[in-house]
Structure 1
Amino acid sequence: MKKNLSIVILLISLAISQSVFSQIYSFEKGKVPEGWKIDKGVLHISSGKYKSGSRSLQIKWKQNAVLTIPSPTGISEACRNRNGGMNAWIYNESPTQENLLFSFRDETGKEVCQLPFLLNFKGWRCIWAKFQGDMNMPSKSNIQSVEIQFPQHTKKGVTYIDLLEFTPKVSWQNMSDAQYKVNRTDYSLIPDFIGYRNATPKVEKVITAEDNQITTITDRLTTWYLGSEQHSSERWIKMRTENEKTFIRNGVKAAQKIKIQYNEDYTPQGEPLFPMGAPTIIDGQEAKKFRTINENVLLPLALDYRKNKNDQSLKKALYIYDWFNDQGWADGSSMGTLCFEKLRSSGYFHSFFLLKEQLSPEQLKRELQTMNWFTMFGACYQLPSYAGEVADNLRALAIPKLIYALSQNDKQEREVALTAFKHYMDNALGIAPGFFGTFKADFSGYHHRGPYHSAYYPHALYAGALIAYLLHDTPYALSETTLHNLKQGLLTFRFFCAGLDVPAGTVGRFPKGQQILETLLPAFVYTALSFKEPDKELTAAFKRILESTENKQAIAEYISNVNSSLAYTSTVGEIELVTQLASSSIAKEKPVTGTLFMPYSGLLVAKDSLFHFNIKGFSRYIWDFESSATENTKGRYLAYGQIEYFDLKNRHKSFNPQETDFDWNYIPGATTKVLPDKVLQDKGGSSSGHRNFSDETFLTGVHASDKNAMFSFRMHDITYDQSFRANKSVFVFENFLLCLGSDIQTKDKRYPTITTLFQSFSRNTSEERMPEGYILTDPSLMYAVKGGVVRTSSEGSHTRAYIEHGTAPEAAKYHYYILKNKNKVLGRQLLSNESPIKVIAQDNDAHIVTYKTKEITCGALFNAQKKYEGQLVSQVNIPLSYILEKQKDNSFKLSVCEPDMRRISRAHMGLLTEEDVIQQEKPYDTQLTINGLYNVECPQKTIKVSLDKEKDKTYITISTIRGENYTLLLHQADHLL
C-alpha cells in the first residue's frame, strides 16, 4: 500500500513539474514560437547567449519596435491567481537610459497592465513581477496577448530573452531593483535594497582620520585574514593553518572546472549561473548557483594568491568577478530576490578585500558599486529612529560593510563612509524595542521576532565583537555603550549556557544545535581586547570556558572547521588572537552559579555547581516554537513549561532529541496533549504553522537570590486548540524545585492530557508508590509527586514518567517536587503533613507558597482584583509575581516582576507588520498594598510610598517595564505608631 502511494505521489509530482515546465519559453527547440512577430527587427534563436540549455531568443530591434506574443502559454492561469505574473531573464548588449515596456492586453487590445524595464545595463537581469500585486492589474482581467515595446529614442539594440514564464505563483520574495519596480511597502522581511542604493552618502559630522589610523584598521583586518606568523608553532594555530590549507586546496581543485573564456569584445563566456532564489531544476536541467562558487571557490583562490603567490588563482578569481557580473551579479540587479543571497555571499565579499589591489580601475569601480548594493551599505546613511538590526544583516554583512567603507579611494568619501558605518554599528548593537532584533534589554538575542540562541544571535554577537576589535583605539571606535552591550551579551550568553549548550526552548528550528558557546570564544577575545586594557571579567570567563576539560574536543573541532558559508570567520588571525588572550595572566573565573529571569526569552535559568535548570514558557510576546518543512517539525511543546536540566557532574540531560526514540509529546515539565506524530506535526489551521503567540501576558519570573527564584505563566494555546489552558509555576529553592499546576483544561476528548516528569534513556530509574503520592527517580534527580495519578511506560532503556490528567480535563492540578540530591527522607517529608512547604493558593487567582523554615513566600498573582489579607502582599493593581524573604530585625526583601510589555501582538509572527515589530514597551505604575507600616527603598529607581496608620497599610507605587525584576527593601516603621 505504501509503495503504491509513493508511486502515485511521484507521478503527481512529475505531472506538476511538467505542467510548470511547459509554461517556460526556453527556446531549446531552435524555433521562434509560433505567432511571435516583431515589426521593426529580427527574431532569431541564438546559441551566443543563454540562461538555460544552449539557446535563447535574440531580438535585434530598431527604434520603436514592438514584439507581439499572442496567447502566451500559461497566461490564463496566471491571470486568475492573485500571485500570478511573469518571470524572465533578459540579456542586454548595450546600455541605454530607456525602458523596455511589457504591455499586457485583453481580447479587445486594451492594455490592462504594464511593466517598464530599464535597459541601462549590460549582462543578464531577472524579472519576477505579479500582474495584480506589482502591475496593478484589475483582478477580473483576462490577458490575451503581450507586447514588448522597445525604446523610442535609441536607434537600435540587441536583447535576449530566456526562461520566459507566465506563472500562477510569483515568489513572495520578489523585490524592486534598478530595472523594474514591485509594490512592496513592508520591508520587515525583504529589505529596501533600492532605498539603500539611492541613499545620499552624507553624515551630519564627518569623523576625520589620519592615514596611519586607517592603516591600523586595514592592517588588523589583513592580519585577521592572513595571520601574523608570530606564533605559528602554537598547536591551535598549526591546527587552523593545516585545515586552511585543505580549504584552499579543495577550492583550487574545484576551480579547475571553471575555464577562463572571453569573446572578442572581452565579454566573459561561461555557463549560466543562478541565484539561490531560483529553483534547483530549471526547464529540466540542474541550475548552477552563484552560491556554489561563493562558498567553495572564490575565497580559496584569494587566499591561495595572498599566501602562496599563485598567479593562476588570481587570474581565475578576476575572471570569476567578470563572469559573475555578466551573469547578473551586479549593482542594482536583484536576480529576482536577494533575500537570502546576501547571506550566502561571504566568499565574494572577503575575496574582494584580499584581491582589490589587483583589480583594474574599471573592475574596482564596478565591484565597489556591487558591494554597495549587496551589502546594503546605504542603510548606514539612513539610521532609523530606534535601535537594533536584523541578526542576518549583522552576521553576514557587518564585515562586508566595513570592507566597502575602507575600500573607498577618495579620502573624504572614505571618512564619510567610515563615520556612517560607525554610527550604524552603534545603533545596530543597541537595545532594540518590541519584537525587533537583535539585542534585547535582558540580553536575549532575537531573530524571527523571538529568542534565538542556537544561531543568528551568536553569529551577530561575533560580528559585532569583531567590528569592535577592528575599530578600537581609532577615531571610528564603537561607543562605550556598545562595548557594554557586547560585554553583557557575552556574559549573559555564558550564564544561560549549560557547559556549551543553550536552553532547548531557545533553539529555534535547530533542536539538535544546542552546543554553540565554543564558537563565541573569539568574540570574548575581540571584545576584551577592545577596551583600553583587556577586560578582566570577559577574560576570566573566556579562560574558564577555554580551559574546561569537557570543552576541549568541541574547541578542537571548531578550530579545525574552515569554511566560507554564512559568514567567514575561520581565519588564522582569529586563532592567533585566541592564543594571545589565553596566555594572559588573568585567572579564570569560578564556576558560574545563580538565577536569572529573561523576560524576552520567557526563560528562567537556575544553576549551581551540580545542576543547571532552564524553565520555558510562551505568551502574548514570546512565540512557542519555530519549524520548517524538515526541521523541528514536532517541536510544538518546547515552551509549554519545559523544565530542562543538565546534570553537570554525571553528564546527563533531560532533552535528548538526538535519540531515535525521543518522544516529543513528553517534554519534561511541559503540560501537553499526547498526539500522534501526524497531528503533532500538523499546522493546526494556522496560516503560519509555527511561531505562535498566546493571548496571555502573564509570563513572569523572579530571581531573588542565587538560590531562590520562581517562574510562572498562564498557558493558552490559541492556535491548535483554543480550549487548552493551564496555570504553571516553578519555585526554585536550594535543594529542590516545587512545581505547581492548576486549572488545566481542554475540551479535547480524543487525546489524553499529561504533565511530564521525565523522559529517560537510561535503565537507572525507579518508582515507589505511597499513601501521600509517588517517589520516582531518573538517572540524576528524584521526583516526589503529591497525589494525582502517575504513569510510567518503559521500552528497553527508554522510560517516560508523567502525571495523567485524563481526556478533556476541566480543572486538573499537579503538585510535585524535583530533588537535586535524591534525598528520599526529604522527599517523604515534602509529601507529608510535616512538610516545610505550605501551599497557600493553587487556583485560577494565584499560586502562593511559603517555605516555612526559611521564611520565604513566593506568589504568582494572576488576579489583580483579589485581596490576600493573610499575606504581607495583600493586593496589587496588576498581575505580577513576587518573592518575599524575611531579613534580620523583622525587615523584608521583596523582589517583584510585573510581566506585561504593553505593546501590540498578533496570533503568530507572520501577521506582525513592520510597525508592530518596533512598537516600544510602555511603563506602568504598579501598586502594591503591604499589610503593616514600612519604610521602603528601592536600589534601582525612585518609588512612591505612603503609609495609612489607620488601616495599618503601606502603599508602594513603582514604575515597571519590560518584565524587569525590582527589589524593594521593607523596614518596619514602628516609631510612626
Structure 2
Amino acid sequence: MISLVKRKYIFSGFFCLAFVLISKILPAQIKDICENKVPHGWQAINGNLSISKAHFKAGKESVLWKWNKPNASLIIEDTAFASVAANPRSSFVIWIYSDKPTKSKLLFDFEKNGKKASSFSFNLDFKGWRTAWIMYHRDMSGKPVEGMEKLVVHSFDGSKSGSLYLDQILYNIDINPRSPMRDEQVPFVNIHSEEAANAHWTALYSFTRKANYLPLPKKVSPEENKDLSIIFERYENVLLSSSKFRKYSLPQLQKAYNYWQIKRNGDQITGKMIYSRNDDELFPKNTNKALKGSFEESTIRPYSELMLNIAGVYRISKDVQEKEILAKMFIDMIDNMEDQGWAPGSGMGALHHLGYNFSSYYSACLLMKQVLKEQHRFDKTWKTMYWFSGLGRTQPKIGNPADFNIDVFNTLLGSMLSTILMMDQSPDKVRHMYEFSNWLSQATMPTYSIDGTFKPDGSVVHHGTLYPAYGIGGFQGITPVIYCISKTLFHIAPAGQESLKKVLLTMHYYTNPIYWPVDVSGRHPTKSGKVPEEVFAYMALAGTPDGKQDIDKEMAGIYLDIIKNPKDKWAKKFEEQGVKPAPYPQGHWDINYGLLDIHRRGDWLLTVRGHNRYFVANESYPGANMYGRYSRYGQLDVTYPQTKKDDGAAFKDKGWDWNNIPGTTTLHQPLNKLRANIVNADDYSGVEEMLLSDEIFAGGTNFNQWQGMFAMILHGNDKYAMGSFYAHKSYFMFDSLIVCLGSNISNSIQDYSTNTTLFQNYLSNKNAPFYVNGESGTSFPYARKWNNAQGLTIIDSRNIGYYIPSQENVEFTRQEQISRDQTDNKDTRGDIGMLVFHHGSAPQNQSYEYAMVIETNVTAMQKFKEKMQSAYPVYKVLRKDALAHTVYYAPKHITATALFTSNLSNNDSMIIGNNRPCLLMYQRTDDSLCMSVTDPDLAFYTGPDDSPILPNGKRKEVSIYSRSWYKTAAKASVIILTIKGRWKMTASQSEAKTKILANGTTQLSIPCKYGLASKVALLEVDK
C-alpha cells in the first residue's frame, strides 16, 4: 500500500474537506464549511448558491449550485491558488453530485488578473457523486502561474437551467503522482499510468476501450452450456464452502448495516461516506489515530465485506422473513454505493490497491444474482462489476505483463470470473469465457523481465524480485479458478497450467514444510511466511496439465504432506486415489530471478540470498524491515520442520542484532545508523527503500540438481556512505557440507568494524549445550575470542558444526542482547548465540574460509577435522581471490568455481580460459566430463551501471520502477570455455558445440539463458 508522503497543506483550501470527525479531532482551521453556510469567497453568476441536506458526501450538507440562465458560472476566490505553481505535485480535488446524466461539461478555469492560466473540463454524463483529482502541472491544460487568485467554473452547454451539488473541494494539496486516475469524467488525468507498475489497478478506463473481441458465436452449444453450468456450480460451492457465514446472526448484520446510516427519501438515498482506501492521501501527515481508525471502518473494504456476509447468510438461510430483510439490506447497500460514486465509469479519484479493498463485492453480487434481477438492479450492477474488475483486459491484444501480475491473481481474478458468471447463458457470455480462458493461459506463462509474475526458473515475482509473501495470495486467487474451469471447454492451456505447477513446486522446495525462511520474507522478516494448503488441493483437483489424469497426484501428495487435518474431504478423496504424502524434497535448485539458492537433505532446508544491479538488496517501508539493509548481503538460513516446541528457525526478533545476519559480510553500525532513511525517491515509487548494487555478478548453479554453489560480488550502496565497501563471497553446497569463502573484503570506513557472521541463533534455552573443539559447555553468558584460530570446531545449539581451518579475530558469544524490533516500535531483548569473524575497521583485502556440517555431533565433527587435516581432505580450496573462488569436493570428484572475470589465466586442472564471468561445476571420471554452466548476468541491459550519478560522484537513489530496463526481457548469452584436452559432445547434446584446437585444447561454446544451468556431457577424443 502506498504510504503517506510529506504533504504541504494550504489550510484555506480545505473549504469542503468534510471528513466526519475532522472538526472534532483535528485543529480548528481544518473544518467543513460546506455545512451551515455557503463558503466565503463563492459567488454564482446567473444562478444562486445555497446549503442543502438533499445530498452530501460527508458531514450532513453540501453546496447546491443552481442556475437559471445560459452561460452560468461559479466564481471562487482564495489565496490558496497563489502558490500552486511552486509545487509540481500541487493538485485540485472536488466532488460533484448530479441528479441526472447530461451530455454537458463543466469547465474549470484558474485565473490571475482575469487571464486564464490553467484549466480542465469535467463530463456530467452521470447520476450520483463523482470526483476528480487533478494535478495542476501534469493534468491541466495551460500552466499554473504564481499569484493565481480565482477559479471560475463554467456551465457552457447552453442549457437555460441546471443544478449540481458540490462538496470536499481541496484547492491545493500535494498528492503522490501515481495515484490520480483517469475515468469517464476526467479521461485526461495521469494517462501514462497505464504504463506504470500499478497499471493493473489504474487502467480501468483503458480496459473499457479495448475493441478486440473474439468473434461472437452464433449460439451456445450444448457442450458450452453444460460446461458453463459446471463452472458456475463449482465457483458458487467455492464461495459457500466456508463455514464463516454460519457464525453471523441477523442482529449482528443489522448492527453492521446500521453503521452506514443508509436512508431513503422517495427516490433519493443517502448514507455515511464510503471512502476509497486512497482517500487517506488527503489527510494531513500527522492525522490523529482515532480519526484514522474511523476512516478504516468507513472504507469500501468493510462495506463490501458486509455485503458478502449478507449475501452468504441469505444463501444459506431457510427463514423466508430473514431472507426478505437481508435482501432489502443488500439492495440498499447496492443503491447507496452507486449513489456515492461506486458506479461504472467512476475512478473515485484514485483506486490504487482496488482489488484488495473491493474483492468481496463481486462474490456478493454473484450470490445475490436472483435478488438483483428481481429488484431490477442486475444490468447496472453488472456494468459496475465489469468496470471495477477491469474485465476488458482479457480481450485479445494482450502481451503486456501489466495486465496480469500477482495482485491481479490475488484480488481480481475471482472478480473477473464472477462478472462473467453473472451473465445469463448467451453467445456473449461464451465469448467472454473464451477470452478469459485465453488471457489466463497467457497470464500463467513465464515472463522474462523482472516485471510480471512467473519466471522460467519457477520463481514467483512481485516488486521485481522473488516474493512468496505476495505469491500466496495470488495462488489462493488463481488455483480455485483453475479448478473451476478445469476439464471443460474453457480449461487453460496445458503450458500455462504446467508453468503454474512449476512455480508451486518451487515454492514447496523453499518451504519446510509450510513456512519459508526469513531470507525470502521481503519486508516482513518477523511474519512467518506460510504456504496455503488449499492451493495444492485445487491444483490436484484440476488434474494433470496434459489432461490425462483426473487428479494430479504430485500436487495431491504435497497437500497430504502439509495439511493440518488429514481427515478433511480432499484428503479422503486423494487417499482413495492411492495418493501418499510426498516426502521432503531432496536436491539443489537455483532461482536466479530472485538470487536464491536452495539446498536440501533429510528434513533440513538451506537457502542463500544475494543481490546485484538487477535485484534489490532489501525492501523497507515505514514501519517494516527498518533495519534490513543487509538482508541480501549473502544471508544463509538453515531451517527445520516447525513444531510446537521449536520452530526450527535461527531468527526471532528478540534481541536480534540486524548487523549480524548469518552468512553476511557487513559494516557493524549502531542501530541509529543502520535504521533505514526511507523516502519517496521519485514519481514512480511510493515511500519505500529498494536499493540496488552496481555489480552484475550474483547467482547460483547446480550439478545434476543435487550439488550446487552460489557466489556474488558485494558492493555497498552510496546512500549510506558504503560505496567503498566490497567483498567477493561464495557458498559451495555439497551434500551436508557447506563451504563458505570470502575474499577482497575492503573498505575505507574507519568508524566501524567489518564483520562476517557465521551464525546468530536465538536461544529458547539459554543453557542449551554447545561444543568448542569437542568440549561441551552450557555456560551463559559466555564469551571467547581467538586471535589466530587454527582448526577450530564449534557445534551450535542447532547441531550445526562449524570448521574454521585458519582465521584471525574469531569471537563466539552467548549472551543477552538488546536491540530494536524490525518495525522500529520497541526495544527487544533476547538470549543469543553468535559466531563472528572480525575483519577490523577499514580492512584491505581481508578473507575468510569456514565449513558448515549440518546435522552433526562431536564424534562426526572430530572425524571431519581429522580428515581435513590429512593428506586427503574432504574438500580443497583451490583458489580464493578477486578472479575466482574454486573448491574441489573429493567424495564426488566435483570441482566448482565462480569465475568473477573473463579471460583470466586459470590454474584450474581443466578450465584454461573463459570469455565471460560465469559459474560452473564439473566432474571428470575416466574419459568423460560432465559440466553445468550458468551465466549469472541476466542482461536486462548491457554496459555500465545505469544509476544516475550525483554531482559529488555518488550514485543517486531512484526507484527500481523508474529503470528503463524494468520490463525488458533477459538476454541469452554464449559462454565459451577453453578446456584442457580433446573433447567432443555426447550424442545427446545438441545446443553446446565443441571445437578442438591445434594446441590440443578444446573450445566449448555453451548457450545460457535466464540464469538456468546449462548441462554439458563430453567424451574424450582418443589421442
- Does the pair score TM above 0.5? yes
Shift of 1:148: 0.7
Call closer, same or farther: CA 1:218–1:39 in 2, change over 3 Å: same
Q: Deviations over 1:328-386 (max 9, x none)?
A: 10111111111112322122010011112221475211111111111111111253335
> What is the one-letter code of the residue matched to 2:60?
S
Range that drifts further, 48-57 or 27-36? 27-36
Partner of 1:570: none
> What is the one-letter code of the residue matched to 2:694?
D
- SS of structure 2 residue aligned to 1:795: strand
Q: Does residue 746 of structure 2 align to residue 745 of structure 1? A: yes
Partner of 1:121: 126
> What is the one-letter code of the residue matched to 2:797?
P
Q: Does residue 645 of structure 2 align to residue 643 of structure 1? A: no
Shift of 1:198: 1.7
> What is the one-letter code of the residue matched to 1:626?
E
Partner of 1:267: 268
Is the Cα contact below 8 Å between 1:633 and 1:681 reproduced in 2? yes
> What is the one-letter code of the residue matched to 2:560?
L
- SS of structure 2 residue aligned to 1:132: helix
> Within 5 A, what are the aligned runs for 1:756-771?
756-762=757-763, 763=766, 764=768, 765-768=770-773
Is the Cα contact below 8 Å between 1:209 and 1:475 reproduced in 2? no
Partner of 2:308: 299
- SS of structure 2 residue aligned to 1:694: coil
Q: Does residue 818 of structure 2 align to residue 824 of structure 1? A: no
Is the Cα contact below 8 Å between 1:461 and 1:523 reproduced in 2? no
> What is the one-letter code of the residue matched to 1:185?
H
Partner of 1:815: 849
Distance (Å, rounded) in 2 between the aligned partners of 1:338 and 1:685: 22
Distance (Å, rounded) in 2 between the aligned partners of 1:100 and 1:91: 12
Corresponding residue to 1:91 among 87, 97, 112: 97
Corresponding residue to 2:539 among 515, 520, 524: 524
Partner of 1:620: 613
Partner of 1:37: 43
Partner of 2:666: 672
Q: Does residue 822 of structure 2 align to residue 788 of structure 1? A: no
Partner of 1:203: 214
Partner of 2:1003: 955
Is the Cα contact below 8 Å between 1:87 and 1:166 reproduced in 2? yes
Q: Deviations over 1:645-664 (max 9, x none)?
A: 01349886775554321222
Is the Cα contact below 8 Å between 1:28 and 1:54 reproduced in 2? no
Distance (Å, rounded) in 2 between the aligned partners of 1:534 and 1:916: 41
Partner of 2:899: 861
Corresponding residue to 1:350 among 350, 358, 363: 363
Is the Cα contact below 8 Å between 1:754 and 1:803 reproduced in 2? yes
Partner of 1:510: 524
Range that drifts further, 22-31 or 36-45? 22-31
Is the Cα contact below 8 Å between 1:64 and 1:151 reproduced in 2? yes
> What is the one-letter code of the residue matched to 1:184?
I
Distance (Å, rounded) in 2 between the aligned partners of 1:21 and 1:163: 17
Partner of 2:589: 596
Partner of 2:732: 731
Q: Does residue 165 of structure 2 align to residue 160 of structure 1? A: yes
- SS of structure 2 residue aligned to 1:489: helix
Q: Does residue 932 of structure 2 align to residue 895 of structure 1? A: yes
Corresponding residue to 2:793 among 760, 770, 775: 775
Is the Cα contact below 8 Å between 1:84 and 1:131 reproduced in 2? yes
Q: Does residue 454 of structure 2 align to residue 439 of structure 1? A: yes
Call closer, same or farther: CA 1:492–1:547 in 2, change over 3 Å: closer
Q: Does residue 167 of structure 2 align to residue 177 of structure 1? A: no
Q: Does residue 725 of structure 2 align to residue 694 of structure 1? A: no
Call closer, same or farther: CA 1:941–1:441 in 2, change over 3 Å: farther
Q: Does residue 284 of structure 2 align to residue 277 of structure 1? A: no
Partner of 1:58: 64
- SS of structure 1 residue aligned to 2:714: strand
Range that drifts further, 403-412 or 320-329? 403-412
Is the Cα contact below 8 Å between 2:120 and 2:140 reproduced in 1? yes
- SS of structure 2 residue aligned to 1:185: helix
Corresponding residue to 1:942 among 984, 988, 991: 991
Partner of 2:204: 193
Is the Cα contact below 8 Å between 1:654 and 1:760 reproduced in 2? no
Distance (Å, rounded) in 1 between the aligned partners of 2:150 and 2:103: 26
TM-score (norm 2): 0.85
Distance (Å, rounded) in 2 between the aligned partners of 1:788 and 1:382: 64
> What is the one-letter code of the residue matched to 2:125?
N
Shift of 1:757: 0.9
Question: Structure 2 stretches of 5 or more lacking a match?
Answer: 1-5, 15-21, 682-686, 774-785, 817-830, 948-956
Q: CA RMSD in A?
A: 3.1
Partner of 1:560: none
Distance (Å, rounded) in 1 between the aligned partners of 2:928 and 2:837: 40
Partner of 2:437: 422
Partner of 1:396: 411
> What is the one-letter code of the residue matched to 1:740?
L
Shift of 1:292: 4.1
Question: Structure 1 stretches of 5 or more lacking a match?
Answer: 1-8, 230-236, 557-574
Distance (Å, rounded) in 2 between the aligned partners of 1:307 and 1:441: 44
Equivalenced residues, count: 928
Corresponding residue to 1:138 among 139, 143, 151: 143
Q: Does residue 882 of structure 2 align to residue 882 of structure 1? A: no
Q: Does residue 885 of structure 2 align to residue 873 of structure 1? A: no
Shift of 1:439: 0.6
Call closer, same or farther: CA 1:735–1:32 in 2, change over 3 Å: closer
Distance (Å, rounded) in 1 between the aligned partners of 2:577 and 2:600: 28
Is the Cα contact below 8 Å between 2:218 and 2:427 reproduced in 1? no
Range that drifts further, 31-40 or 615-624? 31-40
Distance (Å, rounded) in 2 between the aligned partners of 1:689 and 1:709: 34
> What is the one-letter code of the residue matched to 1:625?
N
- SS of structure 1 residue aligned to 2:629: helix
Distance (Å, rounded) in 2 between the aligned partners of 1:540 and 1:819: 31
Partner of 1:933: 982
- SS of structure 2 residue aligned to 1:369: helix
Range that drifts further, 465-474 or 431-440? 465-474
> What is the one-letter code of the residue matched to 1:391?
I
Partner of 1:79: 85
Distance (Å, rounded) in 2 between the aligned partners of 1:525 and 1:62: 67
Is the Cα contact below 8 Å between 1:740 and 1:842 reproduced in 2? yes
Shift of 1:686: 8.7
Range that drifts further, 773-782 or 289-298? 289-298
Q: Deviations over 1:718-763 (max 9, x none)?
A: 3432211211101111231100011112222222111111112223
Call closer, same or farther: CA 1:281–1:586 in 2, change over 3 Å: same
Corresponding residue to 2:564 among 539, 552, 558: 552
- SS of structure 1 residue aligned to 2:336: helix
Q: Deviations over 1:752-803 (max 9, x none)?
A: 1111111122233344568514322212201112313211333243222211
Distance (Å, rounded) in 2 between the aligned partners of 1:147 and 1:825: 87
Distance (Å, rounded) in 2 between the aligned partners of 1:176 and 1:259: 30
> What is the one-letter code of the residue matched to 1:464?
I
Q: Does residue 496 of structure 2 align to residue 482 of structure 1? A: yes
Distance (Å, rounded) in 1 between the aligned partners of 2:977 and 2:841: 39
> What is the one-letter code of the residue matched to 1:749?
Q
> What is the one-letter code of the residue matched to 1:676?
P
Corresponding residue to 1:910 among 956, 959, 982: 959
Partner of 1:571: none
Call closer, same or farther: CA 1:582–1:683 in 2, change over 3 Å: farther
> What is the one-letter code of the residue matched to 2:456?
A
Distance (Å, rounded) in 2 between the aligned partners of 1:465 and 1:29: 50
Distance (Å, rounded) in 2 between the aligned partners of 1:580 and 1:466: 17
Range that drifts further, 582-591 or 496-505? 582-591
Shift of 1:469: 1.6
Distance (Å, rounded) in 1 between the aligned partners of 2:848 and 2:648: 20
Call closer, same or farther: CA 1:465–1:151 in 2, change over 3 Å: same
Q: Deviations over 1:306-344 (max 9, x none)?
A: 111422112111110101000110111111111112322
Call closer, same or farther: CA 1:653–1:320 in 2, change over 3 Å: closer
Distance (Å, rounded) in 1 between the aligned partners of 2:329 and 2:919: 64
- SS of structure 1 residue aligned to 2:691: coil
